[in-house]
């Protein structure tokens, strides 16, 4: 919290800062992740595939909720496959 408060450059107490963070992010396995509805508002449409914001929100929420070690294993296996 001290690092974040220092970077903000404005005086703010821990409780106020935590309350603000909770309005824009969710705690996922010890890390703060920006809420999906802020990244993909209801009016959002994907440029590549035309996927609407609510579908992007649901998909991201599912991905974020997956257990972290599984994602790391998949990422490592993809990296090792792409090296050869």
Q: Strands of 1-84 (E only): list them.
A: 25-28, 31-34
Are residues 78 and 56 both part of a single domain? Answer: yes
**For residues 84 and 27, which has the higher predicted lDDT (pLDDT)?**
27
Which tokens in the block code for residue 11?
């005086």
Are residues 48 and 58 both part of a single domain? Answer: yes
Q: Which domain does 1 fall in, by range? A: 1-34
Are residues 29 and 40 both part of a single domain? Answer: no
Task: Report DSSP state, residue 40.
Answer: S
Are residues 82 and 55 both part of a single domain? Answer: yes
Are residues 53 and 75 both part of a single domain? Answer: yes
Q: How many domains does the chain have?
A: 2
6-60 confidence digits (pLDDT tens): 888 889 899 999 898 999 998 877 788 899 999 999 999 999 999 999 999 999 9
**For residues 68 and 1, which has the higher predicted lDDT (pLDDT)?**
1
Are residues 30 and 54 both part of a single domain? Answer: no
27: CB partners within 8 A, 6+ apart: 33
Are residues 24 and 46 both part of a single domain? Answer: no
């Amino acid at each position: 919290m001290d690092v974040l408060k220092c970077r903000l450059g404005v005086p703010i107490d821990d409780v106020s800062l935590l309350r603000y963070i909770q309005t824009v992010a969710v705690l996922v396995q010890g890390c703060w992740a920006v809420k999906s509805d802020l990244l993909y508002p209801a009016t959002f449409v994907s440029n590549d595939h035309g996927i609407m914001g609510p579908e992007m929100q649901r998909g991201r929420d599912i991905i974020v909720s997956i257990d972290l070690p599984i994602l790391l294993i998949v990422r490592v296996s993809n990296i090792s496959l792409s090296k050869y």
